[in-house]
Amino acid sequence: MRSTQYDAVVVGSGPNGLAAAITLQQAGLEVLLVEGKDQLGGGLRSQELTLPGFVHDVCSAIHPLAAGSPFFKTLPLQEHGLEFLYPPVSAAHPFDNGTAAALFTSLQDTAQSLGKDQQAYLNLMQPLVKSWPAMAPDVLGPLRIPSHPIDLASFGLNALTSATFLANRFKTQEARGLWAGMAAHSIQPLSNLTTSAIGLVLMAVGHLQGWPVPKGGSQQIANALVSYFQSLGGKVETGVYVTSLDQLPKSKAVLLDVTPKQLLEIAGEKLTPFYRKQLYRYRYGMGVFKMDWALDGPIPFTAPECRQAGTIHIGNTLEEIAASEKASAAGHHPQKPFVLLAQQSLFDNTRAPKGKHTAWAYCHVPNGSTEDMTQAIENQVERFAPGFKDLILARHTMNTAQMQAHNPNYIGGDINGGIIDIGQLYTRPVVSLSPYQTSAKGLYLCSSSTPPGGGVHGMCGYHAAKRALKDVFHLKAPELSTKN
């Protein structure tokens, strides 16, 4: 690694590391971004995992939070090659009777499709959709005095409840199932407090701009962020796996896009005993078993809405999904797991050879599990798309250990950087008014283990950089977007 002195060094090139590096560079600092792998992007990497010509997203795939991120909206990412493609149906949720519920960009169309629950859905979502753009910077950040306290309080009353409790607003199988699939992105039992939060946010941003697919793969988000960072004069080094702060060149600030486990390994001796003790108590959540397929044709879902959707939530009823998530959290491997599936090649012809397709999926498993869930996942897809298995040309699987080997932040396969339950919603990684500061001077944490947590939005990195700019350099970060 070069010996040049920098104002700041950022370790890790996931969306939060990139956001932190960009924010610091925008302030006029000299910034070095260090990545352990040869390929930049962290959870945004895309590779040919199955057959030549089939481009698969290794981790994240569909990006409603990226398209709606208050930070990313301030950046000219289109000028750096990023193009989002929008499926006609953001997400679909099939049932055993051959029908499906669907999240459309149109709030009215979604509500109308839910029949008897039309008004209940409008009552829940209409106020949030209206207030979300202005409120998003408050929600997607640390605890602070909110800019829109009334709107935030209204959101919080629903967001802090369990998904199973909020589901009581709905009577129909369609609305309850659609809601369960959204809330299951929280990766914890649906009876837990705060599981409503992620479901509400995903539906709100879906109605504001949809759930897009990055053309060419999720890697293109990372490529655009890196390109913009370098256009500002930022420097990048890859293939440097940091295990100690002593490996880094001298700087006034270091920001680590890592989780508490790695922070302890990299900088433990520089942290106070009390801070280390808090980090050791940090909790990780369920892991994922991930699959990618090269297919001979599109997935033949029975329900037409599923054949137009970028994302499919496979799990049938709310009750079945709740049981599956509860079992996985308790250390079991359900035979009918809740499966998140994406079919990017339906809308992006750069993902597969002509006439062929890709598909991406994962299910939740106990943290650290090495159980092979291939059959269970493929049976679930076949259940709602008879003939799916006959289309498989090749498959690629990753258990939780392989997920962690690919991205060290995925401890035990936890893609959220730690469970986001009521105990760690705003106390990530420790109880602090400034969760991005560590106990070591000039050392900051900028990963999804800080508020607001997992997702491709860059907000953890932005807020960590904002704190470092204030503490170390006495500078202000750019303001965030409050527009759709």
In percent, the amount of the chain with pLDDT more than 70 equals 99
Any idea what the CATH number is for the domain that residue 14 is in?
A: 3.50.50.60
Contact 21, 253 (CB under 8 A): no
pLDDT reading at 132 higher than 70: yes
Closest listed residue to residue 319, CA positions, set 190, 158, 192: 190
> Is 63 a member of any domain?
no
Say if residue 278 is in the same domain as residue 289: no
User: What number is the average pLDDT over the span 98-108?
Assistant: 98
pLDDT reading at 2 higher than 60: no
For residues 137, 142, 147, 150, the Cα torsion angle rounded to the nearest 10 degrees is 100
Say if residue 373 is in the same domain as residue 239: no
> Is 306 a member of any domain?
yes
Contact 410, 327 (CB under 8 A): no
Residue 453 to residues 33, 417, 418, 447, Cα–Cα distance (Å): 21, 7, 8, 8
Contact 285, 416 (CB under 8 A): yes
Say if residue 291 is in the same domain as residue 184: yes
At residue 398, φ and ψ (nearest 5 deg) are -140, 120
Closest listed residue to residue 388, CA positions, set 361, 406, 428, 423: 361
pLDDT of residue 150: 85
User: What number is the average pLDDT over the span 3-18?
Assistant: 93
pLDDT reading at 482 higher than 80: no
Residue 149's pLDDT band (cuts 50, 70, 90): confident
- In sequence order, the β-bridge partners of residue 346 are none
pLDDT of residue 143: 81
pLDDT of residue 108: 98
User: What number is the average pLDDT over the span 420-424?
Assistant: 93
pLDDT (tens digit, 9 = 90+) per residue, 288-327?
999 999 999 999 999 999 999 999 999 999 999 999 999 9
Say if residue 225 is in the same domain as residue 351: no
Count each helix (H run) and each strand (E run) in the chain, helices first: 15, 16
**279: Cβ contacts below 8 Å, ≥ 6 apart:** 260, 263, 264, 271, 429, 430
Say if residue 333 is in the same domain as residue 314: yes
pLDDT reading at 4 higher than 80: no
The CA radius of gyration of the chain, in Å to the nearest whole number, is: 21
Domain termination residue (choose one: 375, 406, 437): 406
Say if residue 138 is in the same domain as residue 273: no
Pairing of strands 287-295, 392-398: antiparallel
- Mean pLDDT for the chain overall: 96
User: What number is the average pLDDT over the span 77-93?
Assistant: 98
Domain termination residue (choose one: 406, 423, 454): 406
Residue 92 to residues 88, 103, 157, 314, 370, Cα–Cα distance (Å): 11, 6, 27, 9, 29
pLDDT (tens digit, 9 = 90+) per residue, 446-479?
999 999 999 999 999 999 999 999 999 999 988 8
> Is 59 a member of any domain?
no
Say if residue 30 is in the same domain as residue 173: no
> Is 60 a member of any domain?
no
Say if residue 201 is in the same domain as residue 292: yes
pLDDT (tens digit, 9 = 90+) per residue, 331-386?
999 999 999 999 999 999 999 999 999 999 999 999 999 999 999 999 999 999 99
> Is 332 a member of any domain?
yes
Say if residue 385 is in the same domain as residue 309: yes
Residue positions counted in the chain = 484
Residue 409's pLDDT band (cuts 50, 70, 90): very high
Q: Which domain holds residue 434?
A: 6-45+68-81+214-282+415-473
The Cα 273–Cα 410 span in angstroms is 25
Domain termination residue (choose one: 406, 423, 444): 406
DSSP run (H or E) holding 358: strand 357-365
Total domains present in the chain: 2
The one-letter code for the residue type at 379 is N
Say if residue 304 is in the same domain as residue 255: no
Burial 63-85 (b: 16+ CB within 10 A, else e): bbbbbbbbbbbbbebeebebebb
pLDDT of residue 3: 58
pLDDT (tens digit, 9 = 90+) per residue, 231-273?
999 999 999 999 999 999 999 999 999 999 999 999 999 999 9
User: What number is the average pLDDT over the span 7-22?
Assistant: 98
> Is 62 a member of any domain?
no
Residue 280, token pair as written in the block: 């050791």
Any idea what the CATH number is for the domain that residue 326 is in?
A: 3.90.660.50
Say if residue 277 is in the same domain as residue 160: no
Pairing of strands 84-85, 213-214: antiparallel
Say if residue 154 is in the same domain as residue 39: no
User: What number is the average pLDDT over the span 277-283?
Assistant: 97
User: What number is the average pLDDT over the span 40-47?
Assistant: 97
